[in-house]
Copies of this chain bind each other. A is one copy, B any other.
Amino acid sequence: MKRPKRPTIRDVAEKAGVSIATVSKYVNGQQSFSPAVEEKLREAIEDLGYSQNSLARAMVTGRTTAIGLAVMDLANPHYSNVVKGANRVALANGYNLFVVDMEESIAAVRPLLEALAPRTDGLIVSARIPKDVTDWLAELDKPVAFLGQPERDDVLTVGTDSVQVAALLAQYLVRQGFKRFGYMGYSRAPSNADRLQGLRQILEPAGVELLIFDVDEPTNEAGERAAARVLLRPDRPDVIIGWNDLVAIGMMNEARSLGFKVPFDVAFAGIDNIPISRYVTPPLTTVDVCSQTTGEVVMKKIIAMIEEKPQPTDLTLEPALIIRESTQRQFT
């Protein structure tokens, strides 16, 4: 492993017999050149395999044409889709998107962001993070946006309203005739409280029971592990809402292998509308939280902020109920 030290603008200048300023202008296409010089530059660059060191460039210009996105968990398809949306818009506008995965660990986010910040023109963070970190972000010289539910009004946040999402689902399920609700939440997520509020807002007036459970991580496996806790109770719910689609799918699977008929013995619904939810058996009822659109919108907003200010308004996307067979049950 030799490290050949890659060629700098200085090497090019020397080889072409011009000043470094000229090379800089040439590679940035900022001026016209005599054919002789142009030819020599082309050749020198080609020979040396020169390419700009964007680090050095960023240092002096203060611009990186890159945007950073810190995401809770890349293995969660919801976030993959957010990334997809963001990436498309970024690329279309000449920016690069660098993604970092915080692996559900809020604690580790600070160093991650500190590493990311100087390398980017703007930051997107997909989580509610501790106050000291938001404070630090605030006094950064860069635009920052959050994904999730609007919380503070001095920062841009894009997402669906968790209360509304939960209420939407509850409303439909109540109308379907379900009588005993279970909710398998993820209490470590701050929006868990909002989801609960949304559920209660509908269920209490309707006089419907709500049993609350908790998973230790928002994954298939955790849902699967937790399912028995709720299914084997004497007062088993007739419908169970998962913190997200992954949890719901995990629970549903375990239910079926315990011999329950879904949705007849027990129904399931999730939240997020990840792509795979269509493909499980039975297909999962869920709420679309516009994952990809979220990514697109937040990226558009942050690019606007970077390239000079439209007022940063929070943007709440409209969730949409996706009705599939996992809750399609005739009540007699």
Contacts and interface: CB of A to CB of B under 8 A. Distances in A.
A67 B74 CA distance: 17
Task: From A74, A96, A103, name the one whose CB has the most chain B CB atoms within 10 angstroms.
Answer: A74
B84 A74 contact: yes
- Place the interface of chain A in its size category: 35 or more
Given A1-B308, A74-B99, A96-B116, 10 more contacts: A1-B305, A6-B140, A55-B55, A55-B59, A55-B119, A56-B118, A97-B100, A98-B100, A119-B119, A279-B280
Contacts of A75: 77, 80-81, 83-84, 275
Contacts of A115: 54, 65-66, 96
5 contacts: A54-B114, A87-B103, A250-B279, A253-B278, A281-B281
Interface of A: 1, 3-6, 49, 51-56, 58-59, 65-66, 74-75, 77, 80-81, 83-84, 87-88, 91, 96-101, 103, 108, 111-112, 114-116, 118-119, 136, 139-143, 220, 249-250, 253, 275-276, 278-281, 305, 308-309, 312
Nearest to A56: B59
A220 to B, nearest CB: 6
A310 B1 CA distance: 9
A80 to B, nearest CB: 5
Copies of this chain in the oligomer: 2
Given A55-B119, A114-B51, A249 B141 contact: no
A259 to B, nearest CB: 15
Nearest to A4: B141
A215 to B, nearest CB: 16
Contacts of A114: 51-52, 54
Nearest to A292: B75
A139 B141 CA distance: 35
A116 B49 CA distance: 17
A109 to B, nearest CB: 12
A5 B140 CA distance: 8
Contacts of A59: 55-56, 59
Nearest to A312: B1
Contacts of A74: 74, 80, 83-84, 87, 99
